Structure 1
Amino acid sequence: MKFSKYYLVAFVSFLIWGFFSLALKPLKGYPSLDILFYRVFICAAVMAVISLFMRVRVLKESIAAFKGMPVARKREVAFLTLAGGVLLTANWFFFIYVMNHISVKAASFAYLVCPIMTTVIAFFVLDEKLSKWQWTAVMLSVLSCILLSFNNIADILYSLIVAASYAFYLVSQRKNTGIDKFLVLTIQIIFSALLLLPFYPKYSAALPTEASFYILITLIAVVFTIVPLFMNLYALQGVTSSTMGILLYINPLMNFAIALFYFHEPINATQITAYSIILLSIVIFNERFIFGRRRTAVA
């Protein structure tokens, strides 16, 4: 089977997210809500400038395309776009809440549950079919999550909330077609900024003065938010939500490798086994892409 550009874009987007901890770790001395506020506000400003001044032709074409849609389709596109903004905001907020008030493990576990949840939701909502190999990969993923959840049963509910918000985002945006993807993401981020703006005066800390804070936040906003999210939306034009969900495992695998080899965090045999199973599940789920050319040659 041909290895599509959409598949490659999806793979690279999650690979980029895998390095997120390298930019986030130096900001551990700042309140998590401040990181969220400035991340979203800078994203909104950057994307608004690009869409209004650097992509004027695309903006006009997208507006014309939207006006030419039937009324029912207009409502659907508007709903899916704004709902996507709400789901992104909820995902970021719940993730920070769980990390600060529940546990770091629960926050990390959420992105191990998310691929499974995305695959199952896509199966029932979008009627995306899975092969026997892909269902095997899903079952292996479930097994790995069970292994990692030992002694952390109370955290599962919080993890499910975080996972569900992004899983529903991926599935909903699979149906959001007809408008330029970068413009869709711009509207969603601006809508997210508007949702957070009323909370900023009350819940933000003192205005940061260190230049390093703004450099790192801008890096997070552009490299670890705008770029991979746009790549996600672009990839959804050519790959299923189920495939996107399973490829999401690249993120925690990268986090695990960085924690092990860069930050030298301790690990145990259960974690090694669970993450090895996750890696195996990614290979099995995508076996048609990995081994497709070989099968064709044999045939």
Structure 2
Amino acid sequence: MLFPPARDPQAVKGVTFGLAAYIMWGCFPLFFALFDGIPAFEILIHRIVWSCVFLVVLITMLSRWSPVITALSQPRRLGRVLICAVLIGFNWGLYIYAVESNQVLQASLGYFLTPLVNVALGMLVLREVMARLQLVALGLAGLAIAIQFALLGELPWISLMLALSFGSYGLFRKQVPLDGLSGLFVETLLLFPLALLALTWLSWQGNSHFMIDVPMSVLLAVSGVITALPLMAFAGAARRLRLSTLGFLMYINPTIQFIIALTIFGEPLGTIQLATFIMIWFGLALYSWSSWQSRPHQPPIR
């Protein structure tokens, strides 16, 4: 049975949090499409700055400063956190660019590929032994990308870079002893000085859109809140659900993006692209089945 029994209130709450997180992430294209005429670089700067500001308020309200102070008091251990910060910053920026350049289908493909990239990184970097079906799934994804390159003459580089950056972020994030909220704050805090310098430079050059148009300025500030909210919901789900359930819910995000790209943004989906999507979806089905079969039989964490 995939979802826990409905009589377990904590499990029901966990599924609710998980659905909220992945639906919010899936609807991100609708939000970032509102920034018409603002470069992705400037949106990224504001996303970092206002995420940091919002998280300061949130952590203060929740009295969660202890793990943050502990992490900041050990600068020699911040190397992996800095790598995580650079990877997630790059991922955010590339995703915003994908939305602005009407390539949400590529973005959705990137997040469909991410679990399979995690499998590859686990095998190559951590020397993990993969199940046969997981290797088949990885091979199908590689074949799909090769078909796109051979028949279309180009690599889906946005998809690949989103999957690689987010997969690598997950790899390093596992080695950082910080919860989701504290970890995101320390990551954005490390990027904050650079973002502030970049924002100052944009203002000095007269290229900043902030405080020029009030509605757009509000949207730029709200981007920080939009960044933190799904993470908080995800943290609530992770504490209450099995990893196998979270893994199943994960596909909601790129599925919503795929539907938005086709129905709202009207992005074209050629026959070759559809065929490669189907191959990757089939690979994900094999991967999910393999993960489900090998799951540990233990009660959910409460």
Structure 1 length as normaliser, TM-score? 0.72
Question: Aligned pair 1:18/2:18, yes or no?
Answer: no
Within a 5 Å distance, the mapping from 1:131-280 to structure 2 comes to 131-150=131-150, 153-155=153-155, 160-177=160-177, 179-203=178-202, 205-208=207-210, 209-223=212-226, 225-229=227-231, 239=243, 250-280=252-282
Q: Distance in 1 between matches of 2:137 and 2:264?
A: 29
Counterpart residue type for residue 183 of structure 1: S
Give the distance between the partners of 1:158 and 1:93, measured in 2 at CA.
Answer: 11
Identity %: 23
Q: Alignment partner of 1:27: what SS?
A: coil
TM-aligned CA deviation for residue 50 of structure 1? 1.4
Post-superposition shift, 1:40?
A: 1.2
| In 2, Cα distance between equivalents of 1:165 and 1:236 | 22
Further displaced range: 228-237 or 12-21? 228-237
The CA deviation string for residues 85-138 of structure 1, in whole angstroms up to 9 with x for no partner, is 12222333455678889x948963655554433321122323444322222222
In 2, the alpha carbon distance for the partners of 1:231 and 1:128 equals 30
SS at match of 1:192: helix
Partner of 1:296: none
Match of 1:297 in 2: none
Q: Which segment is superposed worse, 36-45 or 121-130?
A: 121-130
The range that moved more, 18-27 or 110-119, is 110-119
Q: Report 1:111-150 matches (<5 A).
A: 111=111, 114-150=114-150
Quote the Cα distance in structure 1 between the aligned partners of 2:166 and 2:283. 20
Native 8 Å contact 1:113 1:145 kept in 2: no
- AA paired with 2:220? I
Contact 1:107-1:162 at 8 Å conserved across structures: no
Contact 1:16 1:228 in 2 (8 A): yes
Residue type matched to 1:60 in 2?
Answer: S
Unaligned runs of 5+ in 1: 294-299
Task: Show structure 2 runs of 5+ residues with no match.
Answer: 5-10, 296-302
Aligned residues: 279
Q: Which has the higher helix share?
A: 1
Q: Equivalent residues in 2 for 1:52-91 (5 A)?
A: 53-56=60-63, 58-60=64-66, 63=69, 75-76=76-77, 78-91=78-91
Amino acid at match of 2:267: E
State the superposition RMSD in angstroms: 4.1
Distance 2:48 2:282 in 1: 35
Aligned residue in 1 for 2:8: none
Q: Deviations over 1:217-248 (max 9, x none)?
A: 3444323x2234456678889749xx96x986
- Report if aligned partners of 1:43, 1:189 keep a CA contact under 8 Å in 2: yes
Alpha-carbon distance, 1:21 to partner: 0.9
Equivalent pair of 2:106/2:159 in contact (CA under 8 Å): yes
